[in-house]
Structure 1
């Protein structure tokens, strides 16, 4: 497998490591969207969050919880983002959590600004989606 994040986790590629555990690692993004943009990844290769073991999931999000305090001190506001699969915008097929320091002057807007053609759903459609998601 030729996964850049696996190589970073194995220290085959240098990175600016902020912290790490036996199961996860946090480091500065090499192509930051803002100053302090940090990635937190599991050391084991998983493409999607739901593929992770409970132990790796818990460790990853404990690391996110620990690191976000540090990143948040830069601007006082941090966007957390996970692209879960290629169609969601995931460019590297390895679970990674973005911690992106935000401020009003970055003009990035809220997550809702990413979607230009948002669906207009009726109450019945919402009920149908609710039932489908809840029962699966």
Structure 2
């Protein structure tokens, strides 16, 4: 897609600090990292959300994400990683991408980036679980 910055990076038309370029995806440093070593992993083809990723591409793409999570930790001497993906909401570039962020104890990053809530009771929680299960079943 011509206007997509990540497609431009994949094609080599937009400069990026590449970490890896493989058939299953391309990984490069985020230009505005949460912490130094923050990597973005993108599929080579233009897909907007995780739902658009073909089933046959899941093992290769997430295998690459997994390998990068281990490599980021080892490569920058981090204590671990935070692996995250936005779909539609808060997705700053409309091209599927996975963040692999190095973490260290006491780095200041606290849990998730949004406020947390509670279910009113077990019945409310069960109702949400049942609706999600029903949607999962209908999606096949």
Q: TM-score, normalised by structure 2?
A: 0.86
Q: Secondary structure at the match of 1:78?
A: strand
Cα deviations by residue, 1:86-128 (Å, 9 ceiling, x for unpaired):
x2x11111111100011233211112xx333524332111111
Cα deviations by residue, 1:26-57 (Å, 9 ceiling, x for unpaired):
11111111010001110111111011112333
User: Which residue matches 2:53?
Assistant: 52
User: Which residue matches 1:129?
Assistant: 128
Distance 2:133 2:32 in 1: 37
CA contact (8 A) 1:28 1:36 kept: yes
CA contact (8 A) 1:49 1:57 kept: no
Map 1:1-136 → 2, pairs under 5 A: 1-73=2-74, 74=76, 75-85=78-88, 87=89, 89-111=90-112, 114-116=113-115, 118-136=117-135
Structure 1: give runs of 5+ residues left out of the alignment. none
Deviation at 1:60, TM superposition (A): 1.3
Q: Which moved more, 1:99-108 or 1:76-85?
A: 99-108
Structure 2: give runs of 5+ residues left out of the alignment. 136-140
Distance 1:26 1:96 in 2: 9
Distance 1:33 1:26, change over 3 A: same
Q: TM-score, normalised by structure 1?
A: 0.89
Divergent runs of 4+, >6 A = none
Distance 2:56 2:42 in 1: 13
User: Which residue matches 2:138?
Assistant: none
Distance 1:47 1:124 in 2: 35
